[in-house]
Amino acid sequence: MAAEAARQAFRGRFLHCLPEGGGGYRVEYLEDGVLVVEGARIAALAAAGAAELQGLDLASCIDLGGDLVVPGFVDTHVHAPQLDVMGSHGEQLLEWLERYTFPAEARFADEAFARVAMADFLDALLCQGTTSAMVYATSHHHATDALFAAAEARRLCLIAGKVLMDRNAPEALRDSAVGGIAESRELIERWHGRGRLAYAVTPRFSITSSPAQLAGAGQLLRDHPGVYLQTHLAENPQEVAAVRELFPEAAHYLDTYDAHGLCTERSVFAHCLHLEAAEIRRLAETGAAVAFCPSSNLFLGSGLFNWQAFAAAEVPVTIASDVGAGTDLSMLGTLVDAYKVCQLGGHALPPLEAFYAITLGNARALGLEARIGTLAPGSDADFLRLNPRDVPLLAGRVAACRDIAEEWFAYQILGDDRLVRETWVAGECRKRDGRLAVGN
pLDDT in tens, 224-241: 999 999 999 999 999 999
Tell me what the mean pLDDT of segment 68-73 comes to.
Answer: 98
The CATH number assigned to the domain holding 94 equals 3.20.20.140
Candidates 140, 72, 119, 141; CA nearest to 381 is 72
Candidates 225, 352, 230; CA nearest to 290 is 230
* pLDDT of 94 above 50: yes
Residue 410's CB is within 10 A of a number of other CB atoms, namely 23
Q: Do residue 398 and residue 282 come from a single domain? A: no
Tell me what the mean pLDDT of segment 81-99 comes to.
Answer: 95
Q: Do residue 78 and residue 57 come from a single domain? A: no
Q: Do residue 94 and residue 172 come from a single domain? A: yes
The CATH number assigned to the domain holding 385 equals 2.30.40.10
pLDDT, tens digit (0-9, with 9 covering 90-100), for 335-356: 999 999 999 999 999 999 999 9
In a domain, 40, yes or no: yes
Residue pair 162/139 in contact (Cβ under 8 Å)? The answer is yes
In a domain, 2, yes or no: no
Residue pair 427/41 in contact (Cβ under 8 Å)? The answer is yes
Tell me what the mean pLDDT of segment 259-280 comes to.
Answer: 98
**Last residue within a domain, chosen from 339, 365, 391:** 365
Among the residues of 54-200, which ranges form H helices? 93-96, 102-106, 111-128, 141-154, 177-191
In a domain, 151, yes or no: yes
pLDDT of residue 4: 45
Residue pair 128/330 in contact (Cβ under 8 Å)? The answer is yes
Q: How far is CA 52 from CA 42, 47, 226, 239, 308, in A?
A: 17, 9, 42, 59, 44
Q: Do residue 155 and residue 87 come from a single domain? A: yes
pLDDT band at 438 (very low <50, low <70, confident <90, very high): low
* pLDDT of 68 above 90: yes
Q: Do residue 330 and residue 318 come from a single domain? A: yes
In a domain, 1, yes or no: no
* pLDDT of 1 above 50: no
CA torsion 68→71→77→83, rounded to 10°? Answer: 50
Side chain identity at residue 136, one-letter code = Y
CA torsion 135→339→383→196, rounded to 10°? Answer: -20
Residue 7's CB is within 10 A of a number of other CB atoms, namely 11
Mean model confidence pLDDT for the chain: 96
Residue pair 362/74 in contact (Cβ under 8 Å)? The answer is yes
**Domain enclosing residue 348, as ranges:** 73-365
pLDDT band at 115 (very low <50, low <70, confident <90, very high): very high
pLDDT band at 6 (very low <50, low <70, confident <90, very high): confident
Give Cβ neighbours of residue 375 (< 8 Å, ≥ 6 apart). 14, 16, 35, 42, 45, 69, 70, 71, 383
> Measured in whole angstroms, how far is the alpha carbon of residue 237 from the centre of its chain?
25
Tell me what the mean pLDDT of segment 299-328 comes to.
Answer: 97
Residue pair 268/262 in contact (Cβ under 8 Å)? The answer is no
Q: What angle separates helix 141-154 from helix 177-191, to the nearest 10 degrees?
A: 20
The whole model's pTM is what? 0.96
pLDDT, tens digit (0-9, with 9 covering 90-100), for 121-179: 999 999 999 999 999 999 999 999 999 999 999 999 999 999 999 999 999 999 999 99
- Percentage of the chain beyond pLDDT 70 is 98
Phi-psi region of 137 (alpha: psi -120 to 50; beta: other; left: phi over 0): beta
Q: Do residue 327 and residue 344 come from a single domain? A: yes
* pLDDT of 425 above 50: yes
E-only strand ranges, 286-345: 289-292, 317-319
pLDDT of residue 3: 40
Please state, in angstroms and rounded to a whole number, the distance separating the CA atoms of residues 94 and 113. 26
pLDDT, tens digit (0-9, with 9 covering 90-100), for 375-414: 999 999 999 999 999 899 999 999 999 999 999 999 999 9
* pLDDT of 2 above 70: no
Q: Do residue 46 and residue 96 come from a single domain? A: no
Tell me what the mean pLDDT of segment 302-311 comes to.
Answer: 97
Q: Do residue 183 and residue 123 come from a single domain? A: yes
Domain count, the chain: 2
In a domain, 189, yes or no: yes
